[in-house]
Amino acid sequence: MGVIEVNNLTKYYGKARGIIDVSFQVGEGEIFGFIGPNGAGKSTTIRLLLSLIHPTSGSATIFGKDCFLHGPELRRDIGYLPSEVFYYERMKVIDLLKYSASFYERDCTQRMNELAELMELEMNRRIEDLSYGNRKKVGIVQGLLHQPKLLFLDEPTAGLDPLMQAKFFQLIREENQRGVTVFFSSHILGEVQRMCNRVGIIKEGRLIEIADIRTLQQNNYKKVRVTADGLDAAFLDLPGVTNLEQQNGAIRFFYKGDINAILHKIGAVTVSDVTIEEPTLEEIFMHYYE
Amino acid sequence: MTMRMNILHQEFGMRRQSVIIWSLAIAALILLYLSLFSSFAADAALLNEMMSQFPKELLTAFGMNDTDLSTVLGYFGLAFLFVQICLAIQAASYGFALVSIEEREWTADFLLAKPVGRAQILTSKLLAVLAGLAITDAVVWGASLLALAMFTGGQSFETKPLWLLLLSVVPFQLFFLSVGLVVSLLVKRIRSVTPYAMALGFGMYVLSAFGDLLGESALEKITPFQHFDPHYIVQHAAYDAPLAALSLAVIVVSLVASYVLYRRRDIPAVV
């Protein structure tokens, strides 16, 4: 059974679209990437799963229990790092973290100190004096200190310097190796590519693709570049060819389908150069969003 | 409907300074006002004569027609109107801010992602505010009794109307707290609490004053300044029972509606 199961989840804010008919599953121990541009519905999905907002229709379960009926119970084992971190401005970091820990039955002190040390967090500063990056670190510590079994990370790396990002990814990997399931929302594809097993791609509120990262890269699309004198791009316009463009005598396109078909086609003409590559996730992504 | 001690503690702590300032300010108001009583009472005949020269409408607006300022309770009742206005604004601002502040400052995500239910959060927050208001009440009562002991120059007065007056602040505060809360949950977002609290507090007072002026009975039905009119309480040594009951009904309905609305509420996200 999936840790997260979402069935036909729909959310409208009045008439404004949130997400429409979204269904997916996340298995135990998985790092599931959730990709989409700003406003596509990533945060809406996470906020629904945390019952910060209520669905218009559809259902969702976490650990096999309905999110909207068992919210408080489920949230004992959930850690959440929101995209924008806001805490009680007047509090000191240490007091905020202790307050956060006081919601959980277990003693979180040790883990809290470990995380704070790892993130190089100054515990005696007031929240109002912290930079955005430092607030984000507070967010990371408060989201992890109770050793959750499921993590929701909403654009987690924004504001972190590269060194901290690396530490953060290492931390998430370690959590994951301990069996923690991670739901990782981002519009930065490089990090999703590095971290995730599977990705869901969301566009204008609809989930348009769920795939294994490798499948997405290897089996779906090839990035093809053909250089040949006097070759017209239209010649290569087969079924499965997209983004066909001609520049400086080179023809570039994405191809999805039987690789032999395109090889035969290219083989029929005299070419000076051919490259066939796996596209980066960025390119796949752009392809989805055209 | 259980509550969480950690939330209560946190909420109480955040409001502590405000409670202290309000309490001391109202206490100072009472002491200052009552300290002037002896000089008023000394010239009572003159004063009452002067008052009779004022336009009746003006006196009505301040709830002072047929008020005898030479008696302790007559004078105290007038002072109490100002205390009521302060208490109204204080309680209303706590009500408006109770959950809206978390949404305005975006801390709601932090709190609501914790393993607590919405009803638990609301109950804990309400109890924290009630503790704060109880402290204010205790200070108001203490200051009133102290001022009456110090400044009345041995003039006697009935204690029953006094106690009814002092106790009336509890439902009075609850009215503004619960109405503020339910309004904050009915609107999408409260950008600033103070204008709302001032509008509700003063608005209800003005409604009461105008109701008196116009002799309009419909208006007085909705404002607690009429439900717990100090002048009425002093004169009758009793509450206006139907109106007081109306106040309690508004409190209950507002609180129940607040729980329903808060449980259903979509917490807005930063855009």
Tens-digit pLDDT profile for residues A142-199: 999 999 999 999 988 888 888 888 999 999 999 999 999 999 998 877 788 888 889 8
Q: How far is A170 from chain B (nearest CA, A)?
A: 24
The CATH T-level fold of domain A221-289 is: Alpha-Beta Plaits (3.30.70)
Residue A212 pLDDT > 60: yes
pLDDT tens column, B126-165 = 999 999 999 999 999 999 999 988 887 777 788 888 999 9
Q: Which DSSP letter does residue A23 get?
A: E
Residue B61 pLDDT > 70: no
Q: Considering only CB atoms, which chain A residues are within 8 Å of B117?
A: 71-72
Nearest residue, CB atoms, B107 vs list A76, A87, A103: A87
List of residues 6+ apart from A260 with CB closer than 8 A? none
- Does A103 touch chain B if contact means CB atoms closer than 8 Å? yes
Q: What is the pTM of this model?
A: 0.85
Q: What is the C-alpha separation between A276 and A274, in angstroms, rounded?
A: 7
Q: How far is B184 from chain A (nearest CA, A)?
A: 17
Nearest residue, CB atoms, B266 vs list A54, A75, A78: A54
- Amino acid code (one letter) for A121: L
Residue A282 pLDDT > 70: no
Q: What is the C-alpha separation between A279 and A281, in angstroms, rounded?
A: 6
For A:39-78, CB contacts with B below 8 A are 43-44, 47, 50-54, 71-76, 78
Nearest residue, CB atoms, A103 vs list B14, B108, B115: B115
User: What ranges do the domains of chain A cover?
Assistant: 4-216, 221-289
Mean pLDDT of all residues in A29-37: 90
Mean pLDDT of all residues in B21-31: 95
Q: Considering only CB atoms, which chain B residues are within 8 Å of A89?
A: 105
pLDDT tens column, A36-81 = 888 889 999 999 999 999 999 999 999 999 999 998 999 999 999 9
Kindly determine whether residue B107 and residue A83, on different chains, have CB atoms separated by under 8 Å: no
User: What's the confidence (pLDDT) of residue B64?
Assistant: 63
- Does A132 touch chain B if contact means CB atoms closer than 8 Å? no
Q: How far is A52 from chain B (nearest CA, A)?
A: 6
User: What's the confidence (pLDDT) of residue A112?
Assistant: 93
Give, in words, the CATH class of A4-216.
Answer: alpha beta
**B93, containing H or E segment:** helix B72-104
When pLDDT is cut at 50, 70 and 90, the band that residue A219 belongs to is: low
User: What's the confidence (pLDDT) of residue B216?
Assistant: 64
Q: Do the beta carbons of residue A220 and residue A284 sit within 8 Å?
A: yes
User: What ranges do the domains of chain B cover?
Assistant: 5-264
SS3 assignment, position B65: coil
